[in-house]
Structure 1
Amino acid sequence: MHTSATTKPAVTSIAALVLLIATLSGCQAGGETAPPPDRAGTSAGQADILAVKIDNVAPARPPTGLEKADLVYVERVEAGLSRILAVYSSDVPPVIGPVRSARETDLELLRQFDRPTLAYSGAQSALRPSIEAAPLDALPPSKAPNAYFRSKDRPAPHNLYLRPENIPHESTQVNAAEDLGLRFAPAPGGGTPVSERTVSYPSARFTFTWSPEQKKWLVTMDGQASRTASGDRLSAATVLLQDVTLGPSRFRDKWGNTSPFTETVGSGSALALRDGKAYDVTWERDSAASATEFTTEDGRPMTFARGQVWIVLVPTGTAG
């Protein structure tokens, strides 16, 4: 049976009307559609994590934008030096850096977040397959050349900077620490008054000094007061000195040095610094896909002072 030319539009119109009625009925029955995402699939109220690997040797200082990070991880790398993994969500500055290369330790740390973006300058060829297989959005300059630039005020390789707005990546007002389950609340009971604490790597040293006036821990690196590119003193509201096991990874740098791997899955002791006191705590992370939990001696979750949190990964026996 042939369908005439006048019948086809009528059938199409009826089908469209049925589809419209079904859609409206679903909404009225409680089948509301989800709100549109803010950016790249991230709904309102969720953290959108940008992690940036930041250089931390003397020629790379002072850093830019580090003071805006929600979380600052300090990790030991080759030759006993240190690198920083800065984690942003609530407030993303216009420029961050200097940016350096990724390490295997970063991949395990970032498993705690839901598909974060990792900005880094590059990685050795043997590590690249692991980065590509990790549940994160890898963002070296080769993938986003317009998001990076070289500064003329210092020599390479310490002069690579990121412009997050060109990724694009924007602030979410959701703190990355809270996204991990860390809780900002009044200090727990107990604690030991302390004015200063130092952590030493073979080729790097960090000192955190309590300032009663600023109610923050002022950061000193290698004996020098640490400042940002804008001249402000680097500081933390809470510092966690997390005892970890450090071992060799499967990778080497271009000079043949074995890259260390910091084990952040497992359990151990830690020292929490907040409000001029030190608290003995334990840390536990059951798997790479779970977040680290910090617990006080009485079995309660450690609470944090509102502000930037520094987590210094301390190979056992190196705390000062």
Structure 2
Amino acid sequence: MLRKAGFMVALVFVLLAGCSGNKEETIIDKPQTDKEEVAAKPVNTYPLTGVGTDEEVNHRAVSVMVNNHPKARPQSGLSKADVVYEVLAESNITRFLAIYQSEFPENIGPIRSARDYYIELAKGYESLYIFHGWSPDAKKLIQSDYIDHLNGLNHDGTLFKRSSDRKAPHNSYITYENILEGAQKEGYSMEENTPPYSFFSDDETGLISGEDYKVAALSYGSLDYDVTYKYDSASEKYTRHTAGVRTEDQDTKDPVLLDNILIVEAIHKVIDDKGRRSIDLTAGGDAYLLQKGKRLEIQWVSKDGRIVPVSGETEVKLVQGKTWINIIPDQPGLNNSVKLSND
């Protein structure tokens, strides 16, 4: 009788252990499979970087005029911009139009004044345009309600703050928080679909063609504004340098790391005794595209106000990540303004 009872107890323990083991296996395996599936397939894609995300992507793009005078360097916030345009203002001085959509820095600046062709570019992204001051042509365009905007002339000392460690006009800054506050006060919607670029998928980057070049030196006619891009094979990113100094964030010290460099030539004309220019951003023309240490000779077109790389009638894909677009005068043009090497 004792033997029989002992056998029954042992049988119960075996059955319980088997059930416990099956239950534990089911609990552990199922969540792991679900997590792997979610991580492998992001729900959305950021329109200006091509990077996948599970977050909503309907945040309106914000375009900011950023000062590039030597006294304004290093700037704040450039490392987080999805796209940056670098274009001549007066003389051989360039300014940046930094476009943010996938991420926003806490602080951006120094902020500088508008020009009509920067406004046209900002409009192409359906963005909220941030600037401090204007040229006569830019003033006419802004006052015609052509684009939603925040002007530092109207918000100096409130939304726009002056830095104490620099002198005007190189010390105007705005925070992302104040951009949102200003948009709310002006009644601007911050939910807007941004026109997307075309991007390589992760398994298509091996299709990138072109000649191998690790260094591109670009001249704007002044050593203070000449640019050098250097490709790092390990990170597969480009760094940017002005006058021999690496471009990095003043606040975080993060370098500007780029995946696409688009250099386009456009017709430039000086229109007044101040050296202001008109720049034709609609005609299209020749361009260089730098990706993964290679240079591709292509063309550019204006697509609803944005500069888009093309080959024939086909839009050229970008590498997922951040893009810098340099617009240079057609005279002297690409061949004379850009020097490529592997040194």
Task: Measure, in 2, the Cα distance between the counterparts of 1:183 and 1:47.
Answer: 20
Tell me by how many angstroms 1:294 deviates.
1.4
Q: Which of the residues 216, 238, 261 maps onto 2:237? A: 216
1:310 is paired with a residue whose SS is strand
Amino acid at match of 2:278: F
Question: Which has more radius of gyration?
Answer: 2
Confirm whether residue 278 of structure 1 aligns to residue 318 of structure 2.
Answer: no
- Which residue of 2 is the match for residue 67 of structure 1? 79
Distance 2:214 2:129 in 1: 35
* Residues 306 and 126 of structure 1, relative CA distance in 2, 3 Å threshold: closer
Residue 123 of structure 1 aligns to a residue whose secondary structure is coil
- CA positional deviation for 1:90: 1.2
Identity of aligned residues (%): 25
Match for residue 117 of structure 1? 128
- What amino acid is the match of 2:197? G
5 Å-filtered alignment, 1:288-303, equals 289-296=304-311, 300-303=314-317
Quote the offset at 1:151 in angstroms. 0.8
Structure showing the higher helix proportion among its residues: 2
- Tell me if 1:163 matches 2:170: no
C-alpha RMSD over aligned residues? 2.4
Aligned length: 265
Answer yes or no: is 1:240 the counterpart of 2:255: no
Matched residues in 1 for 2:229 and 2:175: separation? 29
1:281-311 Cα distance to aligned partner (Å, 9 max, x none):
111126xx454331236x5421112221000
**Is residue 2:215 matched to residue 1:196?**
yes
Q: Which amino acid aligns with 1:124?
A: S
Provide closer, same or farther for how the CA distance between residues 180 and 315 of structure 1 changes in structure 2, counting only shifts above 3 A. farther
TM-score if structure 2 supplies the norm length?
A: 0.71
Post-superposition offset of 1:314: 1.6
SS at match of 1:98: coil
Once structures 1 and 2 are overlaid, which stretch shifts more, 52-61 or 183-192? 183-192
Q: Is the 8 A contact 2:85 2:327 kept in 1?
A: yes
Task: Select 1:267's aligned residue among 270, 284, 289.
Answer: 284
Shift, 1:219, TM fit: 0.5
Deviations 1:105-158 (A, max 9, x none): 1122123122x2111111135531212225311211244442210111222211
1:89–1:174 contact (8 Å) kept in structure 2: no
1:227 aligns with 2:248: yes
**Unaligned stretches of 5+ residues in structure 1:** 1-43
Q: How far apart are residue 164 of structure 1 and its match? A: 2.2
Over 6 Å off, 4+ runs: 172-175
From the superposition, tell whether residues 227 and 174 of structure 1 become closer, same or farther in structure 2 (CA, over 3 Å).
farther
**Letter paired with 2:133:** G
Distance 2:228 2:145 in 1: 33
**CA distance in 2 between partners of 1:140 and 1:89 (Å):** 20
Match of 1:104 among 102, 116, 121: 116
Taking the aligned partners of 2:138 and 2:74, their CA distance within structure 1 comes to 28
